[in-house]
Amino acid sequence: MKNIDCLSLKMKSESRAAWNYILQKGFWIVGPAGNSVRDFVKKTLGYDDDILDEQVRTIFLNNSPVDSIDGVYVEEGAKLALGGAMPGLVGIVMGRDNPYKEFRSGISCKETEGAGGSSQQVRVFLKIFSTLAVATGTDILTKGLELKAETLRDFLEKQKVHLLNPEVLTSLDSTDDAPIRFTVEFKN
């Protein structure tokens, strides 16, 4: 594979909804080390406190539900999942800061001591679900994310009709499956 720092994709606007698949399947993102979940998400995704407190109702870190987004810290290689409110009883119980969280106290993330902000970077596997993917996905894709080259290549092949710069596909022509960083710009 050719050495690419960051691939710039230009897509037709009508392809935006298809990208929710990638956001929900998961991708890698790089952000500052030593930050709480709240600070990591604010710094890497650009979410503000209103989005975090009102729209992000379900958070999992390494497969465990998170209640204290200020007391749990993100580390290198972590798996982070963000979503809106989930439906049903399970959704209520798994959502953060609810009266039923004691039912899952054995599997919830415990508060940890953080190192505070750091100039070092961590690579985190992130998934964005439900209405959150729809509401914030464009900004995330514009900022950039990382996928295995094969995953990106397969997705773009299916979206080829919407790709405004199809020559980027030649950059992905290889059996090498190294991660590749890319940004997406949507145009009318």
Q: DSSP characters for 148-173?
A: EHHHHHHHHHHTGGGBS-TTHHHHT-
Residue 2 near residue 168 (C-beta atoms within 8 A): no
Residues 6+ apart with CB under 8 A from 26: 79, 125, 126, 127
Q: What is the pLDDT along the chain (188 residues), one digit of tens a residue?
A: 445 679 999 999 999 999 999 999 999 999 999 999 999 999 999 999 999 999 998 999 999 999 889 999 999 999 999 998 777 767 766 777 767 666 677 767 777 766 566 679 999 999 999 899 999 999 999 999 999 989 999 999 999 999 999 999 888 876 577 889 999 999 98
Q: Which pTM does this prediction carry?
A: 0.88
Three-class secondary structure assignment of 6-70: CEEEEEEHHHHHHHHHHHHHCEEEEEECCCEHHHHHHHHHCCCHHHHHHHCCEEEECCEECCCCC
